[in-house]
A and B are shown apart, each in its own frame.
Chain A
């Protein structure tokens, strides 16, 4: 008896759903999307790089932007920070005191924003791998 094959439309729908879940998981926790897709090495590298940038950014007393931004650049900073997913919530919960009066604090702000932008890039990659558009 031969196994029944899924209808192509149902298979495509389930693949898109899984890809969306992988993308959202990758945004929420860096590398989790690739972990779900069994890309172990990439998951580890992405988790390490995003967490390292975010942690050092916080340790350098970088600024973590909030939704109540004073100007458009602050709002862009908020969007970049939001890209780190759960790390943003942790950073907000830690409630550190930013100090951008020194260069180190300013670098910390950029490090955390870079972590967010990189994480969004990796989450989109997880979605594309789930869809089969990328290896």
Chain B
């Protein structure tokens, strides 16, 4: 199986965010909010770090 970098980070962020939300929050609403926030931070940080490394790759 071959995933692109972006597909890999989306999969990783979705699974780990959901697991962390169930681990650290009790109420369904809190879990949903935590999972979404965590997912956005995972993906956002990966994209940001990717762009910061862009000049090095050239």
Interface residues of A (CB under 8 A from B): 41-42, 45-46, 49-50, 52-53, 56, 59-61, 102-104, 107, 111, 114, 118, 121-122, 125, 135
Contacts and interface: CB of A to CB of B under 8 A. Distances in A.
24 contacts: A41-B22, A45-B19, A46-B19, A49-B16, A49-B19, A50-B19, A53-B15, A56-B1, A56-B3, A59-B1, A102-B2, A103-B5, A104-B3, A104-B8, A107-B3, A107-B8, A114-B12, A118-B16, A118-B19, A121-B23, A122-B19, A122-B23, A125-B23, A135-B26
A28 B36 CA distance: 30
Contacts of A56: 1, 3, 11
Interface string B10-25: 0110011011001100
B23 to A, nearest CB: 6
Contacts, number: 41
Interface of A is mostly: helix
Contacts of A61: 1
Interface of B: 1-3, 5, 8, 11-12, 15-16, 18-19, 22-23, 26
A52 B13 CA distance: 12
Given A45-B19, A107-B3, A111-B12, 9 more contacts: A49-B16, A50-B19, A53-B12, A60-B2, A104-B1, A104-B3, A118-B16, A121-B23, A125-B23
A114 B16 contact: yes
B57 to A, nearest CB: 14
Q: Which 6 A-B pairs have the closest CB atoms?
A: A59-B1, A49-B19, A104-B2, A107-B8, A49-B15, A45-B22
Q: Which of B1, B16, B26 has the most CB of A within 10 A?
A: B1
A42 B1 contact: no
Contacts of B11: 56
